[in-house]
Amino acid sequence: MPSDRETFWHADSYVVIGDSKQKPFPALTYGALKARGSTVYAVDESAEQIESDPAYRALGELPGPVDAAVLEVAREDTAGWVERVADAGISNLWIHMGRDTPEALEVARQRGLAVCHGTCAVMYLTGGYHRIHKRIEQLRAQY
């Protein structure tokens, strides 16, 4: 039976949220979702384009609804973005490894979001060295 983390990646559409002014945009996640044929949008307040696609400054600018959000911003910004995701009506959220905070997780709980956190999103989407990470997490029963 697939875990919640595995089924998160079965959605049809996603928004990947980053801030390239503070940290490089999560291009591996974005590109892997595109390669799978998912509808994927980029939200980055600091960029105009991601991989030749438009980068939107806010969730309200997206051209269509999305099923899930992947969040990889600075830890101090995570709780605010969790609020924005909930306000946008997106109920499935992945907070990238090392970006979750107790405050952000509490906001998500209060807002009724289904949240995956505490691990790397990329190991579910790509191969390469991320396969090693995936295998370690499987052995730890954390996949």
Which stretch of DSSP H or E encloses residue 108?
helix 102-111
Closest CA to 99 of 80, 74, 120: 74
What are the pLDDT digits (tens) for 120-135? 887 777 655 545 555 5
pLDDT over 70 for what percent of the chain?
86
Return the number of other C-beta atoms located less than 10 Å from residue 42's C-beta: 24
What are the pLDDT digits (tens) for 63-100? 999 999 999 999 999 999 999 999 999 999 999 989 99
